[in-house]
Amino acid sequence: MEHILSVTNPVLKSFLFYASILIGKTMIMSPLTARWRFKKGIFISPEDTVRRGTRVGYDDDDIERIRRAHHNDIENIPMFLFAGFIYILTEPNAWVAINLFRTYTIFRIIHTYVYAIHVFPQPTRAIVWSVSYLINWYMVIISAVKFVTS
C-alpha cells in the first residue's frame, strides 16, 4: 500500500496530473460564464444590474449553455476523482489506468467544446459524455470486484 500512494507510482502521478487538469477546467467555467454575463449585460441577481443597460435574466442561450456545461462538469468530474482514487488502490495495470485517466480528461474537454463552445448536433454530445461515463463505471466495477474478492 505504501508504494501505491507514493508520488513515485506512475499511476498516482498520472491521476494527479489529469485530476489537476480537470479541476482547472471546471474552475475556468465560472469566469467563462461571468464573461458572457458581462458581455451581454444579463445577470442572475438584481443587485448585479446596477449598470445601465443590464438586466436579470435566465433565458440567454449562450449563457445558459455555458452554465449547463459547467453544471455537467460539477456532476461528473467529482465522480471521476473519487472513482479514480479508489481504482488506484486496486493496483491496476499502469498502461490501462493512465490511458483511462487520459481518455476521460480528453473526452470531458471535448464534451465542453461540443456543448458550449462550438455546438454539435446530437448524438455527438451524448457519445462524448458516454465515453467518460463508462470509464467511471469501469473503474467503479473493477474496484468493487477487487475489494469484495480480496
pLDDT tens digits, 57-79: 999 999 999 999 999 999 999 99
User: Hey, what's the cell of 107?
Assistant: 473526452
pLDDT digits (tens, 9 = 90+) for 13-39: 999 999 999 999 999 999 999 999 999
pLDDT of 84 higher than 70: yes
**Contact 29/35 with Cβ under 8 angstroms?**
no
How many angstroms separate the first and last alpha carbons of the chain? 14
| pLDDT band with cut points at 50, 70 and 90 for residue 82 | very high
Q: What is the DSSP string of 61-93?
A: HHHHHHHHHHHHHHHHHHHHHHHHHHHHTT---
**Contact 22/77 with Cβ under 8 angstroms?**
yes
- Helix orientation angle between 61-88 and 94-112, rounded to the nearest 10 degrees: 170
| pLDDT band with cut points at 50, 70 and 90 for residue 5 | confident
What's the CA gap between 21 and 101, in Å, rounded? Answer: 11
Is domain 14-28+68-149 classified as CATH 1.20.120.550?
A: yes
- Domain coordinates in residue numbering, the chain: 14-28+68-149
